[in-house]
Chain A
Amino acid sequence: MARYSDETLGAYLDGELPAEDARAIARAEASDAQLRARIEALRAVSHAVHQSFAAVEREPVPERLQVAFDRLARRANRRSRSWPAALWPGPRGRHWVYGVAGAAAAVVIALGLGAFLSGVVRVNDVSLETYEDAWIEQVKRSYDVYAGIYRSEARAMVDVDGKDAGVWFADKLNRPIAVPDLSTHGLTLKGGRLVIVAGQPSAQFLYVAEDGSPFALSVVPSAGQDRTVVAREDKEGAVTLLHWRVKNYGYALIGNFAPEAMRSLADEIAPQLIPGV
């Protein structure tokens, strides 16, 4: 067997060797059964290790940990904003989201993440997949909060009224945005909320159906191939989630609709939502 250390073979498998060295090992591997067996054994280790943890990332974060994280995040949020609210743009003493919106903009400036301003999200090190997963989780969580409060108090927790939502979110998301009128589907617009996902602002428009059930449309900047449509339904109980991505924006609908009805609704409103179309 050619004399290669396990360090070198590991680097070969991990793509960390210079191209010339990698080619030399590949040639040796073709003619050396012992070397080939060693490489296969090490490759099997990498595969087994990767596979043994692959599913963990897809597991939901345990509620206990999520609750603890949310509590810590709220505490940190209060601490980082322990100066007069008047320093922030927006109405005096307004809800914290104004501060977050200003902060998100400041992040863009401070960190040089100018991509956001061009409508493309490159959240430093957060991959698109992770980002979109986080967004969908956020859509679900926000909907749960909205639905819970609305059902118990018949009150929609909004940051901006329906009539002002378009202008307000156009400013926050740096793009023209139409708030679809869904009244023909029995949905009444209650207003909008700003939701921060991986440091980026996203809009959530809150509606109420005729039967009193909450419904939400979310819009988020999301880098990806233009005109690529990604749709997925995640039916949990009576709630259907459907989301897609087009022209660097992601959209999600969530509410008490049958999947077929949700698809038809999405088909109808999707063109209205795309800027410049």
Chain B
Amino acid sequence: MTDEDRRTGAAVADFVRAGMAAQLPRLRRFALGLTGSVEDADEVVQAACEKALSGAERWVAGTRLDSWLYRVVHTVWLDELRRRKRRRNLTGLEEAMERPSPSALSGVEARLTLEEVRRMITELPSEQRAALLLVCVEEMSYREAAAVLDVPVGTVMSRLARARAQLAERLGKGAGRAADGTRG
């Protein structure tokens, strides 16, 4: 490696580091949407920072840094889900683990709140959730979201459609409960 290579490598590392500092709030928001928990989100972002900072050379200069960072966050979360699943050795644990318990749901306020919407999002399958967050919260195009998730654009579309359909149904019911003044 030449001195110039080293300088360029250090410059890229600086760029990644500074860009990541600027993106921390957004990465944290994405992680919160994925994990449904502030504690988990911060753990995921921290692990993603470590991964990105130690592997800054993997970011391809000229491509979008934020897309790469989102991808690292998403990968870290998927790895964490797999790790937890292995540790507990239970098939389908992801769903059980990620979803609020029935007792928790029974305590949901009838009135629709932003917190409740977040909870509904947390109940979606993780791949649908990620697509929904990238497009509806992070305001990415389908192509950008597909690049982050490493799937075809058509897959993003179908995941989004399923996520929206489920939420539309649940929001409709929630709104109905709110209108009735009943609890579900």
Contacts and interface: CB of A to CB of B under 8 A. Distances in A.
Interface of A: 5-7, 9-11, 14, 16, 41-42, 44-46, 48-53, 56-59, 61-62, 64-66, 68-69, 72-73, 75-77, 79-81, 83, 87, 99-100, 102-107, 110-112, 123-126, 130-131, 133-134, 138, 196-200
Interface string B119-136: 001000000000011011
Q: Please name the 3 residue pairs, one residue from A and one from B, whose CB atoms are nearest each other, closest first.
A: A106-B11, A134-B22, A6-B161
Contacts of B161: 5-7, 9-10
Given A6-B161, A11-B142, A130 B171 contact: no
A69 B12 contact: no
Interface in B120-169: 121, 132-133, 135-137, 141-142, 157-158, 160-162, 164-165, 167-168
Contacts of A65: 24, 28, 42, 45-46
A interface majority secondary structure: helix
Contacts of A42: 164-165, 168
A111 B24 contact: no
B87 to A, nearest CB: 23
Interface centre among B15, B24, B33 (most CB of A within 10 A): B15
B118 A53 contact: yes
B42 A7 contact: no
B3 interface: yes
Interface of B: 3, 6-15, 17-26, 28-29, 32-33, 42, 45-46, 49-50, 53-54, 56, 61-62, 64-67, 112, 114-115, 117-118, 121, 132-133, 135-137, 141-142, 157-158, 160-162, 164-165, 167-168, 171-172
A56 B137 CA distance: 11
Nearest to A130: B22
Contacts of A56: 25, 28-29, 32
A49 B25 contact: no
Interface centre among A49, A50, A123, A126 (most CB of B within 10 A): A49
A56 B142 CA distance: 23
A106 B65 CA distance: 17
Interface centre among B11, B20, B132, B171 (most CB of A within 10 A): B11
23 contacts: A6-B161, A6-B162, A6-B165, A7-B157, A10-B161, A11-B157, A16-B157, A45-B167, A46-B136, A49-B132, A49-B136, A52-B115, A72-B50, A73-B20, A104-B11, A110-B11, A111-B12, A126-B66, A130-B22, A197-B18, A198-B19, A198-B21, A200-B18
Contacts of B50: 72
A186 B20 CA distance: 38
A10 B137 CA distance: 14
Given A48-B171, A126-B19, A68 B7 contact: no
B76 to A, nearest CB: 13
B164 to A, nearest CB: 5
B64 A44 contact: no
Given A45-B171, A49-B167, A87-B3, A104 B14 contact: yes
